[in-house]
Amino acid sequence: MTIDPSLLSLFPTSTAVDTDGALTIGGVRLSVLADEFATPVQIVDEAALRQRAREFTEGLSQRRPGSDVAFASKSFPCTAIYRVMAEEGLHIDVAGAGELITALKADVPAGQIVLHGNAKTDHELGLAVETGVGTVVIDGWDDISRIERIDGPTQSVLLRVIPGVDAPTMAAISTGHHGSKFGLPLDEARRAIAHMQSSVRFNLRGIHLHIGSQILTVAAFAEAVAAVADLGTFDVYDVGGGLGVRYHRTNRAPTVDEYLDTITEAASTHLPEAAELWIEPGRSLVAQSAVTLYRVVTVKRGAPTFVAVDGGIADNLEASTYVGTRFDAVLADRPDGGSPVELVGRQCESGDLFASDLPLRNPVIDDVIAVPVTGAYTYTLLNNYNGALRPPVVFVRDGSAKLVVRRETYDELTTRDVG
């Protein structure tokens, strides 16, 4: 039995099709994982995740020695993922106390952590200083005055600026345009730079920017680097994350090499020769390392035929009308073609739609469906819509599977209810 190569290319690198047509990841059959851990379940190919991390770290250091990759942990904030990324030598970006505490719980060294956020509280900045967070990204004047009020050693910081670049992506995830809520406009940034350079509380190491997420043309990244070049001469330029990924077999996305070529060439042209170039990939680092398994609950035949599974926008909000990503999918034991169906979830919205016109071969109740490219922002956006339980996360590698996050229980749905 065969599988469309363009569909297979969405799956983690260790994915294979057995002679009887069953899909395996990390040497484990997806149907076996569905039996053992129940569904929905998020499966992470640990080797693929590590390999992707190295593509970024080795690719960047070969092109620009002395540079650093930070994992934008908002894209998959669970301790096992933090641990893998830290073991692979990445710095870890956190936004807020919750991600900071999770990273520390995963034994990420504080000096490797970069704290972000456009509205950091006194508590969060206090915690960052107290725990020795390596870098705080200053987002505006209130971050500056809050740090000045905290008693502590000199804090290494970057200043987030608005490069004024309209990234070609959805408005909700575009962040580098004029009028963005993140960072300071360039004129004001100059005043903040002068202020911090004259204060003993700050070691201003450099400039930070991030123009948005799911960006599929690399030119915008180069434009952003050029836009901040005349702010001064700094040790560090952190150009954020944002590289987009393919979600569907018909999508195209730049490769990591194309992205790294673009930003390092822009850095060579516009930035000081000795400056470190930092990047913060999230989506492009984790998206393709995971698939989510579901079971078919019902098949409603007609025009169109609806195949509904035991998950939906509770465990994958990216598939919602709000975000609008259209996923691809396949039957885990019959991956070769079939008639087009609408693959839908079980939450109470018509926007709870994974895929339209999806070819599936005679789907029936209890079939296992594998949805690829679910590693980014799905765990992040889990919710209990319709009382759904947040699903487990399982790592697979070399023929064995390890549970790293267990499934939520029905009891846990009400544990915070005190009235």
The answer to whether 78 is a known catalytic residue is no
Quick check: 59 binds ligand PLP (CB under 6 A)? Answer: no
Catalytic residue among 101, 194, 219, 348: 348
413 to 229, 297, 349, 390: CA distances (angstroms)? 50, 23, 21, 10
Q: Which of 72, 84, 263, 368 binds ligand PLP (CB under 6 A)?
A: 72
CA distance 367 to 34: 10
The answer to whether the CB of 244 falls within 8 A of the CB of 287 is: no
Token pair for 287: 């998206």
Q: Which of 68, 280, 352, 367 binds ligand PLP (CB under 6 A)?
A: 280
**Least distance CB 98 / ligand PLP (angstroms):** 15
H or E segment to which residue 290 belongs: strand 290-300
For ligand PLP, the closer of residues 28 and 95 by Cβ is: 95
The answer to whether the CB of 388 falls within 8 A of the CB of 311 is: yes
Instruction: Please report, as residue ranges, which positions from 108 to 127 form the binding site for ligand PLP (by CB under 6 A).
Output: 116
Quick check: 282 binds ligand PLP (CB under 6 A)? Answer: yes
Quick check: 281 binds ligand PLP (CB under 6 A)? Answer: yes
> What is the number of alpha carbons within 13 Å of residue 21 lying toward its C-beta?
13
**Least distance CB 243 / ligand PLP (angstroms):** 6
For ligand PLP, the closer of residues 45 and 93 by Cβ is: 93
Instruction: Please report, as residue ranges, which positions from 89 to 108 form the binding site for ligand PLP (by CB under 6 A).
Output: 93
For ligand PLP, the closer of residues 75 and 316 by Cβ is: 75
List, in order, residues 6 or more apart from 343 with CB less than 8 Å away: 307, 309, 327, 329, 353, 354, 355, 356, 358, 360, 369
CA distance 23 to 111: 41
Q: Which of 29, 64, 246, 283 binds ligand PLP (CB under 6 A)?
A: 283
For ligand PLP, the closer of residues 50 and 407 by Cβ is: 50
Quick check: 75 binds ligand PLP (CB under 6 A)? Answer: yes
Tell me how many helices (H) and strands (E) the chain has: 11, 21
Residues belonging to the active site: 348
Footprint on this chain of ligand PLP (rule: CB under 6 A): 72, 74-75, 93, 116, 210, 213, 240-243, 280-284
